[in-house]
Amino acid sequence: MKNGLFLAMGMAVAGVAISAQVPPNIEAELKKSGQIVYPACTEKLYRPLMPANDFNTYWPPDASAPRSLAPLYPGVTIVRDQSFGPNPKDVLDIFVGEKGGDKRPVVMYVPGGAGNKQEQQVREGNAFYDNIGRWATKNGMVGVLVQRHPGGGNWDDTGRDIATAVDWVHDNITKYKGDPSKIVIWAHSAGNGPLGMYIGHADRWKNGVQVKGAIFMSGNPVPTVGGGQRGGAGRGGFGDPNAPQPGVACGLSGASMTSDAGHIAGPSGFTAPPAGQGRGGPGGGRGGPQLTPEQQAERDNLPGFKKSNVKIAIAYAEWDPGVMNAQMPANAVALHDELCQLGKDHCPELWMLKGESHMSEVFSLDTSDQTVAKPVLKFVKDAK
CATH of the domain at 46: 3.40.50.1820
CA distance 359 to 112: 10
Answer yes or no: is 292 within a domain: no
Q: pLDDT per position in the chain (384 positions), as tens? A: 333 333 333 334 446 776 668 889 999 999 888 888 888 888 889 988 888 766 545 444 555 555 444 567 889 998 988 999 999 999 999 999 998 899 999 999 999 988 988 765 455 566 789 999 999 999 999 999 999 988 888 999 999 999 999 999 999 999 999 999 999 999 999 999 999 999 999 999 999 999 999 999 999 999 999 854 443 333 333 334 454 555 565 665 555 443 333 333 222 233 333 333 333 334 334 455 799 999 999 999 999 999 999 999 999 999 999 999 999 999 999 999 999 999 999 999 999 999 999 999 999 999 999 999 999 999 999 998
What ranges make up the beta strands (E) of 330-375? 349-357
In a domain, 293, yes or no: no
User: Helices 24-33 and 39-46: crossing angle, nearest 10°?
Assistant: 170
- Which phi and psi (to 5°) does residue 178 adopt? -95, 155
**Domain assignment of residue 227, yes or no:** yes
Number of helices (H), then strands (E), belonging to the chain: the values are: 10, 10
Cis amide prior to 316 (ω within 30 degrees)? no
Q: Which residues pair with 17 in a beta bridge?
A: 4, 352
In a domain, 294, yes or no: no
Contact 184, 380 (CB under 8 A): yes
What does 137-171 look like in DSSP terms, one character per residue?
A: HHTT-EEEEEP-----SSTTHHHHHHHHHHHHHHH
What DSSP line would sit under 109-139, residue for residue? EE-STT--SS--SSGGGGGTTHHHHHHHHHT
383 vs 193: CA distance, rounded Å: 22
Let me know if residue 70 belongs to a domain: no
- Separation between Cα atoms, residue 80 and residue 95, nearest integer Å: 9
Q: Is residue 266 part of a domain?
A: yes
* Spatial separation of the C-alpha atoms in residues 171 and 180, rounded to whole Å: 7
The answer as to whether 59 is a domain residue is no
Domain that holds residue 119: 4-52+77-287+303-382
Three-state DSSP state, 349: strand
Q: Has residue 212 been placed in a domain?
A: yes
**Total domains in the fold of the chain:** 1
The answer to whether 105 touches 70, Cβ cutoff 8 Å, is no
Residue 258, judged by CB atoms within 10 A of its CB (0-12, 13-18, 19+), counts as middle
If one counts every other C-beta atom within 10 angstroms of the C-beta of residue 255, the result is: 21
Crossing angle for the helix pair 192-200 and 157-172, to the nearest 10 degrees: 80
